[in-house]
Each structure stands twice: as C-alpha cells, then as structure tokens.
A and B are shown apart, each in its own frame.
Chain A
Amino acid sequence: MATAATPEQEAVELQDRRPVPAAALDPARREHLLRGSVHVIEPWKSGVFHRLRDVWHDRGLLPYYTRCCIQRRYKNTWLGWIWLPLRPGLDMMSKALFFGGFLGVSSGDRPYIIFFTFGSCGWVFFESLTKWGAKGLRMSNTFIKGAYAPRLPRILSLIGAASFDLFLYTVVAIAAVFYYLFARGTLYVTPSKEVLIAGLGIVLLGAWGITIALFTSPLSVYARDVRYGFNYITQFWYFLTPIAYPISSLPPQYQPIAEANPLTAPVEMVKYGFLQTAPPTTKSIATCLLGLTVLGSIGLWTFMRFERAAVQRL
C-alpha cells in the first residue's frame, strides 16, 4: 500500500523537476529580450491631459465602440438592420408632411421637403450625439466586459455613430433632390464651394453635441431624470431653432432672440452651404463660439469630476 509523501518529500520532488538554468539560455535570444522597449502599468491618474491621452491610446477601439452603438439601434428587432434606413426615412417624411403640408411653412422657390431635409441634417447629428451621449456611461460596461476601459473614448466614439445617422439623413435629402430632378427636371441643389461652410456648421453642431454629452452622461447615472428631462429640452430646442422654418419667417421682434440661440448659427451655416439661404449673422456666430468655449470647458471639467464616481455606481 502506497503511503502519502510527507511535505518535505514533496518539496524535494518539486525542486528536482524545475529545469532551465540561466546559463542554458540562448545568448542571442536573451540579448534580444533585454533590448525590448519598457512600458509601465501605473495607477489611474486624474486630469484632462490623462483623459485625452486615453483617447489617443484607445483609438483602435473607436471603430468597435461605434459599431456597437449602431448595432444597438436594431438589436432585438424583427426587421433587423432595415430599421437603420427606415427610421430616418419615416422621420423625415412625417415631419416634412406636418410642417410643409399641414402648416404650409414657406420654403422659398424650392420644394419644402428639400428645404427641410437639408436643414435637418446638421440637427440630426447634434440630436443623435445628445441622445446617445446621455446613455454613454450607462452603456459603457456592455461594450468592454470584465476589464476597465476609459470612458471618454466611448463618448467620443458616438461621433462615429452620429455620423452614420447624418449619412442616412443626407442620403434621404439627396434622394429627394434626384426625385425632383427626374419629376420636374429641376436641380434644386447645386454643388458649390459653400458646402465647406455647411461642413463647418456640422462640425460645430457635433462639438455642441459632445459638450452636452459631457454633462449628461455622468449625471444621468446618478439620476435617470437627467436623461428623460433632457429629451424634452432637446425637443423644445428643436422648435426654437430655425430648422423647419427660415429665420426670416419669424416676426421681426423675435428674430434677435432666435439669433441668441447658440445653435442657430451652425444650422444656418448648414442651410447656407447646401441651399444658399441667407448666411448666419455675426452675432449669432459669436454666441455659438462663446457658448461652446465656456460650456465645453465646464463640460470637460464636469465629466472629469464625475465620470469615475458615476461608473462605480453602475
């Protein structure tokens, strides 16, 4: 009958089994290993510089985050990816029918649907960023599971998802242009160098969207009311901004108020770039840039201050 080995016997056996003395190593291979670059793993550090470095360091994951955001839009649906083009199509049609058909909003010498779809493109970019930005931190743990991943890249990855929305709405707008080209033989939108101004307007709307997301994403983890509340604020903001109507159609006493809206300038830039409407006023542009600088800085500080504590609550 075999007897169990004592701890001392087991220890001797284990010592005898370990080979690889250092002298046996291949000198060339050893030299190669010891010439490798050094990298370090250190505790988490606070500060804007470190968060921006997170973004650069995790830039390889941005396409993955973006893909996750887009896939969420049709996850658990019966129609699947068909919802991707269906949603902007239905949205544009219903709003264009309401404003252009029932309310008879003026759109100059072009069909209302073209005025509306091009005017809405920039807003869609902004709205998508604010909507998904408010959920940004709550969604973050489902993207990378079982490990810590920085959160700011995930918020910025929403730009990719919002750009996809912008692309879809732009496709609808271009489809409307081609419809009228074949139906009436008139090209209502002609490419020009002012398109660059439209691009700048979209960039400004994107910056505003990210700024808002920097506030709402950590705070909505503390209280979901922030997200629900901001959805209604966005809707209200939509009607205050001259998207579905030209700013000139407002009564004169209300036009200065509309110009004080920081989103008026970028929306007007988009319309000016695509549709050659009146350009935004200097006052309107100044309001936009000043608001963006001030709120952007505060938003970044808010995000730095609350994101780590907020994620602990998830």
Chain B
Amino acid sequence: MSWTRFASHVRLDEGVLLSVEGISKGPKKPAAQPPQWMVRFLPGVTWSAEGRDDGEDFEDDDLMEQQEETRRSGALNEVSFQLSPGDGLGLLGDTNATQILMTLLAGLYPPSTGRVAIRGRIAPLFRFSQLNFSDGTGKSSLKVISRFLHWPPDLLRKRWDEIVDFAHLDEVEEFGFPPKSVEYEEARTKRLFLSSVMHLDASVYLVFKAFAGSDTAMAERCSDLLEQRQREGCAIVQNGRDPEQVARFCREAILFKEGQAITRGRLGSVATFMAEQRAQAEQKQQQRIPIRALLVGKDGELPILGVDGGTLEIELDVFQSLAVWLSLRFAYSEGHEHVKVDRLEPLDVTPGIYRVGVEVPPGLIDEGVYTATLVATGRPIEGEEGPPPSKELLTFEVASETDSQSGPVFGVVPDGGQQAAYPRDVEWRVHRVET
C-alpha cells in the first residue's frame, strides 16, 4: 500500500490517536478509454478488456468472476474527525458511505482526497471474507492478510499459541460441521482471524457491524476484550445499521446520508435525529408510492408449491388509479430467467386493496429449485388525477420472491424459446378486497 507510510514529519495534535482530514472517495469511474493516438493507429481493434473466451486462459475466467468483488462503487465526501484515547465513534446511516470509510481507514483502498493520520497501529475487526485476499483458509490465508496489512512479521509466529487459545477452536467442533470440511475450516479460520486482530498491539480498532460474520460466542469474547482495551485507552470506530448496534463502545456518532456526514454528536442526540429522519423518509415514501405489496404468502414469502401446481397470491394496496401489468417469473438464479408468464392485457384499477393470484396448472412443472417472482407494474392512467408523473411513478414494481432451499418448488423446464407459449396456460385472478 504505497499510500500508507510512516511519516515522522506529520504532526498529530497532542492527545490524538486518529485524525481524519477531509477524506473523500469518488464514485466508480467509467472504464478508461485508450489514448486517441492508439485508437487512430489501430482503427479496427475492439478496445475491450475482456477479449474473447478462447477456453484456454482459465486464469482469465477466474478474473472475470472476481471483477465484482474487487470493484467498489459509491462515494464519500469530505469527512473529518479526530479520536483521542478511550474514544468510541459510531458511523451510522448510509451503509455504502460508512463501509467505504471503514475500508479507507483500514488502508484497503487509497482515498481520492484528504489524509488519515494514525498514531500507532490500526486493527480492522472486519468480516474474514472482506480481508481474505487469497481465497484460502487456515494460517496461510492469515499470513497473506498479515503481509498485506503490514502487521508485525512475528505476530503469527511468536503469539500463535495465544491466538489459538483465545480462538477456543474446540468450540468449533460443536457447530456440527464435518471435520476437515470447507465450512469447518472456514469457521476455524474466522475465529483465528479475529483472534489475530485482537492480538495486534493496536491503538485504534475498527469494528465492522458488531463483529458481523462471526459466531456469537467469539463476538462476545472479542467485545469483552475490546471493552478492556478501550478502558486501557484504545480508540474504537464502529459502523452499524442503527445506534443500538454501536452503543456498547461508542459515545459519539456521525450520521451519513448520500455520502455526506450530515450530523455529529453524542450517540443519543444522533439517534434522535436519525429516528426523526427515518420517520420523515417513511412518510415521504408513503406519499410517493402509488402501489405496494401488502400480503405475500404466509410468512412474507410466496407459498411453495409442488409439482401438482397451485396458486400464488399477493395483495396490492393501490393508492391511485393505475393500469397494472402482471407478470409471473421463474428463475434458477438472479439474472437467469427461464420462464416468464405475462398477463397480456393491463388491468385498470382504482384506489383500494386487491388480491392478485395466478393459477399454475399441473403438468407444466418438474421438480427443481427456482425463485418465483410475482411482479405488478403500475402506471398512471392517462387523464386521471394524481401526483405529477415522475420516473418512479411511471414504472413501479413490487416483487416478492421465494427462494426455496428446502425442497421441490417450481419446475418448469420448457425448451428454450418457448416462453411466449405460456401466457394463456395460467389463469390470473384479481378481485378487490376492500376500497
């Protein structure tokens, strides 16, 4: 990490452990284009990074799979704060912004502007998967993390016994994973990772969402030790979904919205502000949404059906007159839609509550695991009164999904290209429940 360096000339204020000065991270930039002279020189070349799949370069296939992991999007604008010994700071609100700030503080990415100055060492108590750069498990993966983050070279060698003791690896055997299985090794490595970070002689600890990704017993043990470290003078930065999550270590908090720090203060007052903001946002949302799903199956999911078919139902609360298009979709996984059954004619509805069902006949389905989605798309009817059209109003979808891992759900395995043959094979039922 070239942007991380020891800097004797950087002066921190007296009694400050961590100083963040105007740190920002820009949004994801569009893919850079080649220089113009190169384009002119080779006019026929397709300037693509992906090239064609020749089936030989398996390393390129790996690369493609990892693209999404290595890219970060979003933005963080001009954040500044300082921490003194014993301080605890919660980062609340905009999840994207708080996560980016945590990764910048940990040194995983360079900031676009600003500077972070740390007195001593910073210890990232992140998910193991966030810092597992090598994709492996065990001590070898910890060594890669250690080298990348420039932990003391002898940490894993000299303090290994302490690290293993603190991890209580014998408890992992009670989790029920088969010994030597991938899950078993991962669970052990997660504990060893947290234990290693806790054994860093750090001055600042970064806690990612109350030890997210860790098992409860280990998280509690780390929390206890962290409280002790805080009493000894270490500072803590923790991000979280809500104030309750960060309350154990943090006295102060910063609330983020759309990449900006909108307020900072004592945790209680930030919590109050946050609650008010949420209430206002919910109220605003209610006013804007012309249609929403009320009831979806029994437990918030579409009901699971067997090979004999059956009915899927959702309940729609319609706030203004709309033309509603209905669609039932089955997919093996996200982005891989296999069967799409549309109701061809739009349904004109006036405000009220409607129950919408689709009858899936027997004979269409085989066994298999699918995601079933029932989508209602509402658009304002021309000439009707209502809120002025906006992007959100012109096309608004409510979707409910069921992802059954537990047994046979839907199985419709038609030949490719036969999706259009099905619209009339299902029966749509719509009736108003109340006005």
Contacts and interface: CB of A to CB of B under 8 A. Distances in A.
Interface stretch (B9-17, B165-173, B298-306, B369-377): B9-17
A64 B111 contact: no
A141 B61 CA distance: 12
Given A36-B120, A41-B105, A142-B62, A314 B1 contact: no
Given A30-B233, A314-B67, A64 B134 contact: yes
A7 interface: yes
Given A7-B272, A14-B268, A36-B203, A146 B130 contact: yes
B217 to A, nearest CB: 22
A308 to B, nearest CB: 8
A309 B30 CA distance: 10
A86 B248 CA distance: 59
B59 to A, nearest CB: 6
A75 B58 contact: yes
B262 to A, nearest CB: 16
6 contacts: A14-B247, A14-B268, A22-B86, A38-B10, A53-B5, A147-B70
Interface stretch (B31-39, B74-82, B182-190, B285-293): B31-39
A91 interface: no
A17 B107 CA distance: 31
Tier of interface size on chain A: 35 or more
A12 B268 contact: yes
Interface of A: 7-8, 10-15, 17-18, 20-22, 24-26, 29-30, 32-34, 36-45, 50-51, 53-54, 57-58, 60-61, 64, 72, 75-76, 135, 138-139, 141-150, 221-225, 309-310, 312-314
The 7 closest A-B pairs by CB, nearest first: A36-B120, A11-B268, A7-B275, A15-B268, A309-B32, A313-B49, A224-B51
B30 to A, nearest CB: 9
B63 A314 contact: yes
B224 interface: no
B131 interface: yes
Residue of B4, B32, B266 with most chain A CB atoms under a 10 A cut-off: B32
Contacts, number: 233
Interface of B: 1-8, 10-12, 14-15, 17, 29, 31-32, 34, 38, 42, 45-49, 51-52, 57-60, 62-63, 66-67, 69-70, 84-86, 88, 103-105, 107-121, 130-135, 143-144, 147-148, 150, 153, 203, 230-234, 243-244, 247-248, 250-251, 266-269, 271-272, 275-276
A7 B58 contact: no
Contacts of B271: 7, 10-11, 14
A41 B104 contact: yes
A230 B144 CA distance: 33
A146 B112 contact: no
Contacts of B147: 60-61, 64
Contacts of A44: 2-3, 110
Contacts of B233: 25-26, 29-30, 32-33
Nearest to B144: A64
Nearest to B112: A43
B131 to A, nearest CB: 7
A75 B49 CA distance: 23
A30 B12 CA distance: 15
A17 B6 CA distance: 37
